Copies of this chain bind each other. A is one copy, B any other.
Amino acid sequence: MVFILKSGLSEATIKAFSESFERQGFSTIISKGTEHTAVCLIGNTASVDMDKIVATSGVVEYARRVTEQYKAVNRTVHPDDTIIKVGEAEIGPDTFTVISGPCSIESEEQIVEVAKSVKASGAKLLRGGAFKPRSSPYSFQGLGEDGLRMLSTAKKETGLPIVSEIMNQTQAPLFEDVDIVQIGARNMQNFDLLKEVGQMGKPVLLKRGLSNTIEELLMSAEYIMSSGNSRVILCERGIRTFETMTRNTLDISSVIVLKQKSHLPVIVDPSHASGIRSFVAPLSKASLAVGADGLMVETHNDPAKALCDGAQSLDLKQFDELMKELKRRAPLENRKI
């Protein structure tokens, strides 16, 4: 059950209203929109007389039952689109924000070169993997802490905010300088890690698991939000099907579903979704057209020598071409790049 409050209420009034329910044994989530604040009750609300509260509380504009299991991420609870600001970057309904960089950070030279180039092409954030989840224990596992240091250097040299994947709770202290913490597909239901990043006070980029449903993705976002962090970015990166000609199957419709069901921004990762370099540009254009709020695209200064996922990485020139194509199309979708 969610109460959308009247506008202009004081913090104290809102808190008092919320606490009146906590005294009855409910958990509450307070969600602040542009104009209205909402108070969402978690628990068995069958016995709550919603209409009476609307009529008598004096602070409620209107109320709704939230039948879905996801509450804080639900658009019913927060009708406006959430906009997430990171440095000068903004991820939300008016922009088409492109995050780019290599699968793995391989050296300081590499990451700085890529960072400068993707920034010049129009990327607003830099990605780079330091801790790599690899299906084989014998594959390159990332540069770890050293990699994060190199990524920080690239941030300093370019001003680009940085995104990197965290693999377990004990790594949290290493991510102090990282602007957006990424949860990878394989950890989408690592619930303890979700709770941890819910308390890190940073935006979280949450990737959909390889065979997780859209509802499960929303429930994982709910884990993060219910731990106190409302800045979650959802990322569609392809699901596993029987089709073998592409690495995964981009579920482009999921972008539409997610934008309808939730207020959180949604981006697409066309690199992992296809696994094939020549697919990245057309899938990126399709993602813009379908209503995504941005992209995460893998680029590399020398894809043929990449330590990881070279076959799906654009080189710097190809990325620049892609950005030009996107810039031509963004105005038609009322998006700034």
Whose C-beta in chain B lies nearest to the C-beta of A252?
B252
Q: List residues of chain B with CB within 8 A of the CB of A289.
A: 282, 285-286, 288-289, 329
Quick one: closest B residue to A222, CB to CB? B137
Report how far A168 CA is from B286 CA in the complex, Å. Answer: 36
Q: Which residue of the partner chain B has the closest CB to A284? A: B289
Known A-B contacts A192-B168, A249-B241; the reply to A69 vs B273 at CB < 8 A is: no
Closest to A239 in B: B241
A134 to B222, alpha carbons, bound, how many Å?
Answer: 12
Contact B138 A42 (CB under 8 A): yes
A191-B133, A214-B245 as given contacts; A253 in contact with B279, CB under 8 Å: yes
A132, B120: Cα distance in complex, Å: 47
Which residues of chain A in 171-193 are interfacial with respect to chain B, using CB atoms and an 8 Å cutoff?
Answer: 186-187, 189-193
Number of interface residues of A (CB under 8 A): 70
Contact residue among B211, B249, B256, B257 (Cβ-Cβ distance under 8 Å from A251): B249
- On whether the beta carbons of A211 and B210 are closer than 8 Å, the reply is yes
C-alpha gap A251/B247 in the complex (Å): 12
- Cα of A109 to Cα of B27 in the assembled complex, Å: 30
**CA of A211 to CA of B244 in the docked complex: distance in angstroms?**
12
Q: Do B253 and A273 have beta carbons less than 8 Å apart?
A: yes
Tell me the bound Cα distance from A89 to B223 in angstroms.
38
| CB-based contact B245/A249 at 8 Å | no
| A133 and B213 form a contact (CB under 8 A) | no
Closest Cβ of chain B: how far from A50's Cβ, in Å? 19
Known A252-B250, A286-B289, A291-B282; judge A214-B243 contact (CB<8 A). Answer: yes
A240 interfacial by beta-carbon distance below 8 Å: yes
Closest beta carbon of chain B to A276's beta carbon, Å: 8
Spell out A's residues near B (CB within 8 Å).
27, 42-43, 69, 71, 133-138, 167-170, 186-187, 189-193, 195, 210-216, 219-220, 222-223, 226-227, 239-246, 249-257, 260, 273-274, 278-279, 282-283, 285-291, 328-329, 332
A-B residue pairs in contact (CB < 8 Å), sample of 30 = A43-B138, A69-B136, A71-B138, A135-B189, A135-B216, A136-B222, A137-B219, A137-B223, A137-B226, A167-B192, A187-B190, A210-B211, A210-B212, A211-B242, A213-B243, A213-B244, A239-B241, A243-B251, A243-B254, A249-B253, A250-B251, A250-B253, A252-B286, A282-B291, A285-B289, A285-B290, A286-B286, A286-B290, A289-B329, A328-B332
